[in-house]
Chain A
Amino acid sequence: MDQKPAWKDDFPISWVDDHFVTRREFTKSLVLVSCAAFCANGALVAMGALEKARGAEKPEPRKIGSVHDVPVGGSRVFEFPGPGEPCLLVRLDADRFVAFAQKCTHLGCPVLYRKESRQLHCPCHEGFFNAEDGKVIAGPPPRPLPRVELERKGDELWAMAFRK
């Protein structure tokens, strides 16, 4: 029952020796971790530069829907200037629409509209923005939300650009 299998003679691997890591090998692997951290930092810089270059281009105006799509006091998410860049359209009154980038200026969590207080709320770190102008009311966000300029063409709503 306790016989040694034949493959052990053919492939005499010592698992103890195989899994043994010397101090020098461990130190070398630490340098690889250091390299990975540096590369991650570099990737962030590259992504930041790419985003900056994309932001400098003038966005194409985009139809975001009809005025009837959003009830008074309601909100709706749309993508502007391109896919993967969510914005929030809010209907404050029957004739008043405002839109802001949905990414919180603190750490990029999506903000949500609170009808009862007319505020935009970031649930991640309790940031509050004024829904009228996007200014910070409370919480850790350092800057107001970027505002999207809207244009009404009949019953259609168009996002034109980000207000500077």
Chain B
Amino acid sequence: MGYGLPEMMPTRRVRAERARGMTVVYAVMVSIMILILLQFLLLMVALEDFLSGNRAVLRGATIGSGFCFAAACWLIRYVSARRSS
């Protein structure tokens, strides 16, 4: 028994790493769900704008939706890269 950080057992370390990995996957999943909710909101706004013939926010909503999609793609790539490393 000495001073300093306690040494972690190899099995516990593996388990801890797996738990951390799962936390990341859950965080990504929730983030993508929030992005999708935002996209549906934008789609609703765009549809209403299109049907009314106004077309003031149609482009803006599409650009916003594109950003959300790009963010979702980046998140899924991040998870895949983490897994492979």
A contact set with B: CB distance below 8 Å: 23-24, 26-28, 30-31, 33-35, 37-38, 40-42, 44-45, 47-48, 52, 103, 105-108, 142-143
In the complex, the answer to whether A45 meets B79 with C-beta atoms within 8 Å is: no
* Cβ contacts A to B, 15 pairs, < 8 Å: A23-B25, A24-B79, A30-B32, A31-B76, A37-B36, A37-B65, A41-B39, A41-B66, A48-B50, A48-B55, A48-B58, A105-B53, A107-B48, A142-B52, A143-B53
Interface residue SS majority, chain A: helix
B77 to chain A, nearest CB (A): 10
Q: How large is the interface on B (under 10, 10 to 19, 20 to 34, 35 or more residues)?
A: 35 or more
In the complex, the answer to whether A31 meets B72 with C-beta atoms within 8 Å is: yes
A107→B46 CA distance, assembly (Å): 12
Known: A30-B33, A105-B52. A37 touches B69 (CB 8 A): yes
Query: For the complex, is B16 an interface residue (Cβ under 8 Å from A)?
Result: no
Q: B25, B51, B53, B58: which contacts A45 (Cβ < 8 A)?
A: B58
A45→B42 CA distance, assembly (Å): 13
A37 surroundings in chain B (CB, below 8 A): 36, 39-40, 42-43, 65, 68-69
